[in-house]
A and B are shown apart, each in its own frame.
Chain A
Amino acid sequence: MSVYSLWGSLEIGLIFGLVALGVLISFRVLNFPDLTVDGSFPLGGAAAAILIHHGYDPFVATGIGTLAAGFAGVITGWLNVRLKIMDLLASILMMIALYSINLRVMDAPNVPLITESTVFTVLQPAGLHDYVARPLILLVLVVVVKLALDWFFATQVGLAMRSTGSNPRMARSQGIRTGNMVLLGMGISNALCGLAGALFAQSQGGADISMGIGTIVIGLAAVIIGESILPSRRLAITTLAVVIGAVLYRFFVALALNADFVGLKAQDLNLVTAVLVTVALVIPLIKQRLRRKRVE
């Protein structure tokens, strides 16, 4: 595996680390199975790409992409809280609606950004290769987002949101307006996914309508890998764990891409990735069994 491909895995892994943080909020904190992600990730990318294409500042474009995706999440929450549509169904409705909306936003299935200036080209420090600079820029951003989330979940509102997810009835009896908490949480969750989409489009040369396919699966895989590697009841550790999980997932894909020496072919990629992730998930279990044996 080349250094270049490792930096690439880190870059894409960190972008999906933002998705993992978003998925952590919806699935774990709020206990809301949210598939909007498959639409909000490309929405962030689409909005950012089309704005940059029309000459807007890449930072403004990224910000608007993030807000748009957050708004989409709020609507999913609203469908569930106010219109009483089942959570999973509400998110599926939003996801399929976003497919059309994204096509409208881009006015085409594909908006290239190969020759435009992006947040990465603007922040590019002199004397550093771009393939090293991008992951470092993302690392700083992801750390900032992680710390901001840790801070938020320790505030009054953050704690109210966590109690909404773990025991809504008790939360309501304490005077927490759980409906609003769901809307806020879904907004933050999808805003993070939209931010990831906006950055992904800018690092990969453009937004494409198909860029959202499977985002939720990768986000969830990252959350589960992270939780099994760094199991903890402290949210500050879990936010770190899911980002590590997202990066690890990308390393597994890079590893699978280099598996040709054992006679594996291009079409085996997804299978190899699945096997590697399974192994990563089973290791803690094996460790536990070994420890138990030693005790006996």
Chain B
Amino acid sequence: MILHSALRSLVGTVAVVGALAAVPAQAQSVAVTSIVEHPALDAVKDGVHEALATAGYTEAKGLKWQFQTAQGNNAIAAQIARKFVGDKPDVIVAIATPTSQAVVAATKTIPVVFSAVTDPVAAQLVPGTGPSGINVTGVSDALPLQKQIDLIRKVVPNAKKIGMVYNPGEANSVVVVKQLRELLPKAGLTLVEATAPRTVDVGAAARSLVGKVDAIYTNTDNNVVSAYEALVKVGEAAKIPLIAADTDSVKRGAIAALGVNYHDLGVQTGQLVVKILKGAKPGDLPWETSSKLELYVNPGAAARQGVTLPDSLIKSATKVVK
């Protein structure tokens, strides 16, 4: 009897050990943080999640997925970074510049994948182009600006002065403005700037450009994107064509936008995460820029802002908004 029970417990132990061995070595964990909840940044997060699922990493199969936003507050971003580093996930995904800086400052060992950072070198996340050699890699959302200028020329061929509304407090926008100041004159255009430090200033900034510019171009500036309707109102009243860089703005009244699809940017970010989960070193993976650009056009908005879009442009569009 005693022998029997001892035997049974032994069999039980063997079974438990066997079951443990069958489970994959260790459950993977990914921690994602973003500075604020915002349609584009949320699309990045969802894209990362989707890429992980495609590669077979799902919560059902033991993936530990964690998401935190700093609600726009840098001190909270710093605390989230500390919490993540303490939780020791396999990969930390940091969305947008301030969050990425907080995470990179907090750890030199845990792999960090940044996303939606326009200039990761200027932000000191990585030392330069190519593999970083440290624990950081990621995907930048920088737009090839020459293509943006080409688009402006196609929409308004005889424009001379291009207005731009942006938030002087947003690192991503300031990078774009600095580059445009150099690039536009080479294309025979001049840049006229109007700043909007808060979302409520966007309308006033746009009105200040009336009579001074032939078209208004905007980048993915958070303030401008949040208050795009204010810009549309001015554009339609004063017949100033609006060209955006955020494709969603086309649905809201921009004539055209050649932009990054933030969901795809997230998927691209997620693919880097998968590579690291499979054993790649972040320092060996060069950071990337968005591989896919999408052109959205809105012929109705074009008519309201006093221009007609060339058929070739409409035909080349990924999406035509009616």
Interface residues of A (CB under 8 A from B): 1-9, 11-12, 16, 99-100, 103, 108-110, 112-115, 131, 200, 203-206, 208-211, 213-214, 218, 250, 253-254, 257-258, 260, 266-267, 269-270
Contact = CB atoms under 8 A, between A and B. Distances in A.
A114 B124 contact: yes
Q: Which 7 A-B residue pairings sit nearest by Cβ, starting from the closest?
A: A8-B82, A205-B105, A2-B86, A4-B86, A112-B124, A209-B169, A5-B86
A145 B101 CA distance: 29
Interface stretch (B11-19, B71-79, B245-253, B283-291): B71-79
Interface stretch (B62-70, B227-235, B261-269): B62-70
The B interface, classified by DSSP as helix, strand, loop or mixed, is: helix
B168 A103 contact: yes
B80 interface: yes
Given A210-B74, A267-B71, 17 more contacts: A4-B85, A8-B86, A12-B79, A16-B75, A110-B101, A112-B122, A114-B105, A204-B78, A205-B102, A205-B124, A206-B124, A209-B169, A210-B98, A211-B75, A253-B76, A257-B68, A266-B67
A1 B171 CA distance: 33
A264 to B, nearest CB: 11
Interface residues of B, number: 40
B300 interface: no
Contacts of B85: 4-5, 8, 131
B74 A205 contact: no
Contacts of A99: 169, 197
Contacts of B67: 266
A58 to B, nearest CB: 15
A257 B125 contact: no
Contacts of A115: 124, 127
A119 B73 CA distance: 24
Contact of B79 (A208, A210, A250): A250
A257 B80 contact: yes
B171 A254 contact: no
B170 interface: yes
A101 B237 CA distance: 34
Contacts of B182: none
Which of the listed residues B77, B82, B97, B170 has the most CB atoms from chain A within 10 Å of its own CB? B82
A269 B122 CA distance: 31
A151 B170 CA distance: 42
A43 to B, nearest CB: 14
A257 B80 CA distance: 7
A114 B101 contact: yes
A130 B85 CA distance: 13
B59 interface: no
A8 B72 contact: no
A5 B97 contact: no
Given A103-B169, A266-B67, A205 B104 contact: yes
Contacts of A6: 86
B37 A109 contact: no
Contacts of B79: 5, 8-9, 12, 250, 253-254, 257
Interface string B77-118: 111111101111000000001100110111000000000000
Which of the listed residues B72, B73, B106 has the most CB atoms from chain A within 10 Å of its own CB? B73
A3 B105 contact: no
B313 interface: no
A219 to B, nearest CB: 11
A269 B83 contact: no
A267 B83 contact: no
A204 B105 contact: yes
A12 to B, nearest CB: 6
A204 B171 contact: no
Nearest to B37: A267
A213 B69 CA distance: 16
A99 B81 CA distance: 26
Which of the listed residues B79, B97, B102 has the most CB atoms from chain A within 10 Å of its own CB? B79
Contacts of B86: 1-6, 8
Given A99-B197, A206-B124, A12 B75 contact: yes
Contacts of A205: 101-102, 104-106, 124
Contacts of A108: 171, 174
Contact of B74 (A1, A4, A204, A260): A204
